[in-house]
Chains A and B, each alone.
Chain A
């Protein structure tokens, strides 16, 4: 079974802090994704990576950056956390575009005070 893990289930940070959210998948998947999920807004794609060192902006990339130095790991970085980035963050991976199924991690609930 595919396993996608995220570094924290809950995280509390202060405004202005730099925040790292880590995601690791163990199935050699090419593609990885970061979403945020907010009540009433559903899931929104922040960034995705189609291969190592390759990334593409999603629908809401402002205030975020990403890093993919190794195939199994995809990091989401909040350069200077703000209260409007309080949200549930979900990471997902997919074997390749031709195989559409995405596998999700358990999520990180981030609170920015």
Chain B
């Protein structure tokens, strides 16, 4: 199954700054998703980008996908303390039932 690897493992920024986290994967995909997990809670789906898309926006989120480099990035603009969470990418080959999650990036936004 696919597995994404998030980088960095941890990121600490000030409120109002932008946060960028990256995801790399190894085999071809149909789509790639990003999820957020607040401390001690379940994961929440943020955004899905398909393999034929290069960039997608949703509110303060911007996701890019470079299939030639097998990588994706998630940019959160004008971060808020409420954005403090772990962020996971989940690449999917489409034919496989399973999503495999990496260890995530822990983002801390300081007020």
Contacts and interface: CB of A to CB of B under 8 A. Distances in A.
Given A100-B94, A105-B42, A107-B42, 14 more contacts: A31-B97, A42-B102, A42-B103, A50-B97, A90-B43, A92-B43, A97-B94, A97-B95, A100-B33, A100-B92, A101-B48, A102-B43, A102-B45, A104-B35
A40 B102 CA distance: 10
B99 A102 contact: yes
Contacts of B102: 42
Interface of A: 4, 31, 35, 40-43, 45, 48, 50, 56, 58, 88, 90, 92, 97-98, 100-107, 109
A45 B101 CA distance: 9
Interface in B18-59: 30-31, 33, 35, 40-45, 48
28 contacts: A31-B97, A41-B103, A42-B88, A42-B103, A43-B43, A43-B101, A56-B97, A58-B98, A92-B42, A92-B43, A97-B94, A98-B94, A100-B92, A100-B94, A100-B99, A101-B48, A102-B90, A102-B99, A103-B45, A104-B42, A104-B43, A104-B44, A105-B42, A106-B42, A107-B40, A107-B41, A107-B42, A109-B40
A36 B73 CA distance: 26
Interface residues of B, number: 24
A107 B45 CA distance: 15
A42 B43 CA distance: 12
